[in-house]
Amino acid sequence: MRSLQENGEQKVESKIEEAVAPLREKIKDLEKSFTQKYPPVKFLSEKDRKRILLGVYCFNCGLQVFGIQVFSAGLGMNDFDICVLRRDEITKEKVGQKDEKRNVEHWIGHENFELINHDVVEPLYIEVDQIYHLASPASPPNYMYNPIKTLKTNTIGTLNMLGLAKRVGARLLLASTSEVYGDPEVHPQNEDYWGHVNPIGPRACYDEGKRVAETMCYAYMKQEGVEVRVARIFNTFGPRMHMNDGRVVSNFILQALQGEPLTVYGPGTQTRAFQYVSDLVNGLVALMNSNVSSPVNLGNPEEHTILEFAQLIKKLVGSRSEIQFLSEAQDDPQKRKPDIRKAKLLLGWEPVVPLEEGLNKAIHYFRKELEYQANNQYIPKPKPARMKKGRTRHN
């Protein structure tokens, strides 16, 4: 009888433990939220501090958002971290989707961080000293999905940010792109090259959108006296990239980790030059705080073919995935390599993170994300290019 009684008590205790365990976890989470520790920040005197607006693209919902005393992706949130560590006040315009909010959760509640939801296509009224205008989809699958929205973001959105800069006397940095060079006939590409772009191709919404955004910046500088900086950003990667970003780095890493074929579009002889995100952020901050108003290339001049890059990621992941060749994408640039002599000379900037070191950090991040998302029963897949369906028209 005593044995039966003890067994019954153990079963009751076990059931109680099962019921209480989730509550214990919630209590631990609450305790963490009340005792959150932020990364250490460098102290700046009041006269040296700036109120910075950083506008980025929200992958999940397609809106462009900002932060004040603000710290995007992704490029993302790495930009925030650099600015906040300088103890500037940062405002980020960012949409609060769950997955992307995790990229800034270590700053939520910080006195120098404010997160606001806003579509850059609508005017924004706020007091700031500097504006980092990165609010645009940059991945071909994303910007080609809704080309009209991409154009609006890079035209109307840029006009709104320039209007804000004019009203409050802020300096604006436009995150332009190496895509303004199109499929280049000059190699490597320097800032004096005018480009070779198809104005009506599937990539034109982004390529031409950024080209006209640059035109708008210099029109506002000449006519209204707005201080502008233009960074032509080459391929960038690093932790906190979205799993479904759709660009070559995230696709290859994701496919290699999941044991799926690495998809190469075309023969794989196209070249790209990849820079690590921290190098880019340092370049953006250096450019913003310089006296250089003309466009500046920010990229890594170390050039690789896409096939070489796929083989390198396979090796670093330790994957047995095969390499699968698919039909080449329309207007895909065949060569891409930045001439960064201007950045070296005028900004004292050049990339310092070796490619393999950066890739290992990105691979580690993707492994952790796959574990996290598997626990949440979501398995991401590489994102192919897609076009938004249009209405049937009769000629």
B/e letters for 21-49, b = 16+ CB within 10 Å, e = fewer, are eeeeeeeeeeeeeeeeeeeeeeeeeeeeb
Q: What's the distance, CA 252 to chain centroid?
A: 17
Nearest to 82 by CA among 280, 295, 222: 280
Query: From the CB of residue 307, how many other CB atoms can be counted at a distance below 10 Å?
Result: 18
Whose tokens are 């995230």? That residue is 250
Active site residue 372: no
In sequence order, the 6+-apart residues with CB closer than 8 A to the CB of 303 are 188, 271, 272, 273, 336, 337
Nearest to 93 by CA among 36, 54, 127, 40: 54
Whose tokens are 């006209």? That residue is 212
Q: How far apart are CA 356 and CA 317, in angstroms?
A: 11
In sequence order, the 6+-apart residues with CB closer than 8 A to the CB of 178 are 189, 232, 233, 234, 235, 297, 299, 336, 338
Q: How far apart are CA 314 and CA 312, in angstroms?
A: 5
* Torsional sign, CA 204, 205, 206, 210: positive
The dihedral over CA atoms of 324, 327, 329, 333, expressed in degrees to the nearest 10, equals 70
Q: How far apart are CA 95 and CA 156, in angstroms?
A: 19
The residue annotated as part of the active site, out of 206, 220, 265, 276, is 206
Is 176:231 a contact under the CB 8 Å cutoff? yes
Q: Which residues are known to be catalytic?
A: 206
